[in-house]
Structure 1
Amino acid sequence: MLRYFLRRLLSLAVSLIASSLVIFAVIEVVPGDPASYMLGLNASPETVAALRDTLGLEGSPPERYLAWAGGMLTGDFGISYTYKVPVADLVADRLAVSLPLTLYALALSTIIALPVGLIAAARRGTATDLGIMGATQLGIAVPNFWFAMLLVLLLAVRWQVFPAGGFPGWEAGLWPGLVALTLPAVALALPQASILARVLRSALLETLGQDYIRTARAKGLSRRQAILGHAFRNALIPVLTILGMQFSFLLAGAIIIENVFYIPGLGRLIFQAITQRDLIVVESVVMLLVFAVILVTFLVDLGYAAIDPRLRRRA
């Protein structure tokens, strides 16, 4: 198990280094000069050069990459061109909204998908199974921003159960914050729950066709006991993969939902930084999101080893 852990840890480090090189290179080839953009067309070359030096844009690309990567390792992400505050402070403020929203949506997705997938697999071929599969197909096909607008029209405008948008801040209390995040979380969770339910159903049906399940049934176990006691754990490996991907997607891909609900999260920060050409914010936040994706993949791999002893023995 230790050898497996070290191998995955080495893979994580190599992936982070490669990702940082790619992100820095992509930002380098973006046309335009942030200093010229900030000062306007009428700025003198001397003023632009002074601002470039202040922003740390002078120097060769290797020097700037090493300075940026070294700062990331020490928690110094640089200073935002637009907001004139440390990028780390901006990220921390926005992450305090995006991370709870992601966990909220992931929890809702899992709570919905697990029983739905179990019921569909247990009642394969019945009207219940067909209805669930039809509903999940609809959930996958319909974009989440459409769900978001529908939820706003029904639950915020018409019935006024939840606020239509905005975030009061955690200083207003836990309950007001959760209420404000409920509609965005539901809009994010419904498509992901549909995907997860279909994956769980397929994995369970494949597992139920294995010889050891037939042996367990022959010994007198009911179908429910065979599913919950034997098939469910073995079907969790593809489910863990989807959960890891969903966490990464929800954390990094909620830009549209955050803009629909005016949620001050990481997605909205990236959108604003791109429009304002605040490149240090863009590359720092993207690198942070890449780190989150790679870290989640690493944890999922460890989850594989915990669930499937064959991986530990193979390692």
Structure 2
Amino acid sequence: MLRFVVKRLLSLALSLIVASGVIFLVVEVAPGDPASFMLGINAQPETVAALRAELGLDQSRLARYLQWTGGMLTGDFGTSYTYRTPVAQMIADRLWVSLPLALYALALSTLIAFPAGILAAARRGRPADIGVMGATQLGVAIPNFWFAMMLVLIFAIQLRWFSAGGFPGWDAGFFAALKALTLPAIALALPQAAILARIMRSSLLDILGEDFIRTARAKGLTARQALWRHGVRNALIPVLTIIGLQFAFLLAGAIIIEQVFFLPGLGRLIFQSITQRDLIVVESVVMLLVFAVIMVNFLVDLAYAAVDPRLRLRA
């Protein structure tokens, strides 16, 4: 098991090094100069040059890359060009919105998908299976931003059960903040729940057709007992991959949902930083999200090893 973990950690470190180089190069080759953008088109060349020197943009790309990566290792993500605020502070403030939102949506997605997928597999070909698969097909087809606007129209404007947008902050109370995240979490969770339910059903049907399930039935287990004792656990291996990828997507891909609900999260921060040419913020936030994706995949690999001992033996 130790060798397995060490190999995964080396792979994680190599992936982070490659990702940091790619992110830096992609952002740097984007057209436009942050200093010229901040000062406007009528700024004098001397003023632009002075601001570039103040922001460190007059240094070579290699020096800026080494300074950026070295700072991240110590927790210093640099200073925002636009707001003149430490990037780490900006990320920390918005992470307390995006991270709870992603966890909330993932919890809702899992709670919906697991019973739906297991029910569809256990009732294969019956009305319950047809109904679940029809609902999941609808969930996959509907864009989440359109679904989010429908939630606002119904539950915020007509019923007035929730606010149409904004975030009061955790200082306003846990339940008040959670209530503000409920509609965005539902908008993010239902499409992902549809995908996860279909994967759960497919994986469980494959397992139920294996020889060891028939052997368990021959030894006297009922269909329900064989399903829960042997089927569900073995079907979780591919499902764990989808859950890990979904969490990374929910954390990094909620830009549109955060715009719809006016949530001050990481997605909205990236959008604003791109429009303002705040390169250091874009690089740091994207790198943080890449780190989250890679770390989630690492934890999924560990979960694989916990569920399937054969992976530990191969490692």
TM class, shorter-chain normalised? over 0.9
Compute the displacement of 1:307 (Å): 0.4
Whole-angstrom distance in 1 between the partners of 2:37 and 2:2: 51
Provide Cα deviations, 1:139-168, integer angstroms capped at 9, x if missing partner. Answer: 001001111011111111111111111100
Counterpart of 1:94 in structure 2 is 94
Give the letter for the 1:163 counterpart: S
Compute the displacement of 1:47 (Å): 1.2
Give 5+ residue unaligned stretches, structure 1. none
Counterpart of 1:103 in structure 2 is 103
Whole-angstrom distance in 2 between the partners of 1:59 and 1:152: 48
Q: Are 1:306 and 2:289 counterparts?
A: no
Whole-angstrom distance in 1 between the partners of 2:161 and 2:238: 36
Whole-angstrom distance in 2 between the partners of 1:280 and 1:101: 25
Compute the displacement of 1:265 (Å): 0.3
Give 5+ residue unaligned stretches, structure 2. none
Give the letter for the 1:307 counterpart: V
Give the letter for the 2:41 counterpart: L
Whole-angstrom distance in 2 between the partners of 1:5 and 1:69: 25
Q: Secondary structure in 2 aligned to 1:220?
A: coil
Counterpart of 1:189 in structure 2 is 189
Counterpart of 2:147 in structure 1 is 147
Counterpart of 2:170 in structure 1 is 170
Q: Secondary structure in 2 aligned to 1:78?
A: coil
- With 221-230 and 9-18 compared, the bigger mean Cα shift is at 221-230
Counterpart of 2:3 in structure 1 is 3
Provide Cα deviations, 1:86-112, integer angstroms capped at 9, x if missing partner. Answer: 000000000000000000000000000
- With 277-286 and 52-61 compared, the bigger mean Cα shift is at 52-61
Compute the displacement of 1:225 (Å): 0.8
What is the CA RMSD across the aligned residues, in angstroms? 0.6
The 5 Å alignment of 1:200-219 reads 200-219=200-219
Q: Secondary structure in 1 aligned to 2:17?
A: helix
Whole-angstrom distance in 1 between the partners of 2:191 and 2:140: 5
Q: Secondary structure in 1 aligned to 2:163?
A: coil
Runs of 4+ in 1 over 6 A off after TM superposition: none
Counterpart of 2:239 in structure 1 is 239
Give the letter for the 1:45 counterpart: P
Give the letter for the 1:236 counterpart: L
- With 159-168 and 180-189 compared, the bigger mean Cα shift is at 159-168
Compute the displacement of 1:72 (Å): 0.8
Provide Cα deviations, 1:279-304, integer angstroms capped at 9, x if missing partner. Answer: 11001000000000000000000100
The 5 Å alignment of 1:75-86 reads 75-86=75-86
Counterpart of 2:280 in structure 1 is 280
Counterpart of 1:52 in structure 2 is 52
Provide Cα deviations, 1:49-86, integer angstroms capped at 9, x if missing partner. Answer: 11111111121111110000001111111110111100
Provide Cα deviations, 1:210-229, integer angstroms capped at 9, x if missing partner. Answer: 00000001111111111110
Compute the displacement of 1:173 (Å): 0.6
The 5 Å alignment of 1:250-269 reads 250-269=250-269
Give the letter for the 1:20 counterpart: S
Q: Secondary structure in 1 aligned to 2:79?
A: coil
Whole-angstrom distance in 1 between the partners of 2:160 and 2:220: 53
Q: Give identity over the alignment, percent.
A: 73
Compute the displacement of 1:259 (Å): 0.3
Q: Secondary structure in 2 aligned to 1:121?
A: helix
Give the letter for the 1:288 counterpart: L
Whole-angstrom distance in 1 between the partners of 2:227 and 2:98: 36
Compute the displacement of 1:16 (Å): 0.1
Whole-angstrom distance in 2 between the partners of 1:42 and 1:202: 61
TM-score, L = length of structure 2: 0.99
Whole-angstrom distance in 1 between the partners of 2:149 and 2:38: 35
Q: Secondary structure in 2 aligned to 1:235?
A: helix
Whole-angstrom distance in 2 between the partners of 1:237 and 1:157: 42
Provide Cα deviations, 1:254-297, integer angstroms capped at 9, x if missing partner. Answer: 00000000011000000000111111100100000000000000
Counterpart of 2:221 in structure 1 is 221
Q: Are 1:126 and 2:126 counterparts?
A: yes
Whole-angstrom distance in 2 between the partners of 1:134 and 1:172: 40
TM-score, L = length of structure 1: 0.99
